[in-house]
Structure 1
Amino acid sequence: MTEQELLQQHPNAYMSGQQQAFFRELLLTERRELQERITSEFNELRDHEPSSDPADIGSTEEQRQWQLRLLEREKKLLDKIDRALERLARGEYGWCEETGEPIGLRRLLLRPTATLCIEAKERQEKKEKHLRET
């Protein structure tokens, strides 16, 4: 099924077996690609030859720290994908954890790991902003 076919389905078909299969494949593909990137970046970090030039050491260390932060972010995304796959297996995928309402196909296509509908996410962001300002 293509994204267009998915979006053309009747609203009553929300999270039908076909739609669940579509998102399972989407999540598995993202997971596989992300795992390949993580492995590649990790190998690049591990295989890097140290330099004896002090200027090179500084820039190399800065690059290394940047790569480590990137790896950390990608690992967090990998965990989110795994949790989304678990929700799919339990039949909870696509439903807002806060309200129980549908998250929506368009939102899931943009962010397949979403756990909140747009309204709940906006409330969460407003609350976080308010806490930062106080």
Structure 2
Amino acid sequence: MQADPEAQQLLAMPEEAYMNAAQLDYFRRRLLAEQAEVEGHLEEVRKAIGDNERSGDELDRAAVEEELRLLLRQADRETRLLRKIRQALRRIEEGDYGYCAETGQPIGLPRLLLRPTAELCLEAKERQEQREHHYSKSRGDQ
């Protein structure tokens, strides 16, 4: 994945510059743009849900219900993403952005460039996924 020139500049900064004003400004702008995009798309999904017509034909009703189910799933995913974006913006304002919520260690620019809403460093995320996997295995989900 080729990063934009501004992201390349951020990556070229020394380690001591981690989460300096330029980096925070970059992520704030990126998160605000992503927030606007998700909000716009979510509005389109809500409108599509509202525009769905009920048909008397059973086959048409089944197709409409399937489309509605997919739209609702999409709206749910986007609502969760929007919540994560807003939490990341709040962490920027509070001065916690870029640091692992579990360990307090830097998350790292490469990870944040891929997932600006990341709350956990890679090691903490791997531990979380292992716990989730272990829990689902112990419940017999797999």
State if a TM-score over 0.5 links the two structures: yes
Q: Does 1:55 align with 2:50?
A: no
Q: Percent identity?
A: 46
Structure 2 unaligned residues grouped into runs of 5+: none
Shift of 1:49: 2.4
Report if aligned partners of 2:52, 2:64 keep a CA contact under 8 Å in 1. no
- How much does 1:71 deviate? 0.1
Runs of 4+ in 1 over 4 A off after TM superposition: none
The residue identity in structure 2 corresponding to 1:84 is A
Q: Deviations over 1:71-124 (max 9, x none)?
A: 011001100100000000000000001111100001001111100000010011
Shift in Å, 1:54: 1.2
| 2:62 paired with 1:85 | no
1:69 paired residue among 70, 73, 85:
73
* RMSD value, Cα: 1.0
Match of 1:122 among 111, 120, 126: 126
Contact persistence 2:52–2:68 (CA under 8 A): no
* Aligned match for 1:37, one of 28, 37, 41: 41
SS, match of residue 32 in structure 2? helix
Shift of 1:50: 2.1
Structure 1: gaps of 5 or more residues = none
- For 1:20, the equivalent position in structure 2 comes to 24
TM-score normalised by the chain length of structure 1: 0.96
Which letter does structure 2 place at the counterpart of 1:94? G
Aligned length: 134
* 1:69 counterpart letter in structure 2: R
Q: Deviation at 1:68?
A: 0.4
Distance 1:133 1:50 in 2: 42
1:131 deviation in Å? Answer: 1.2
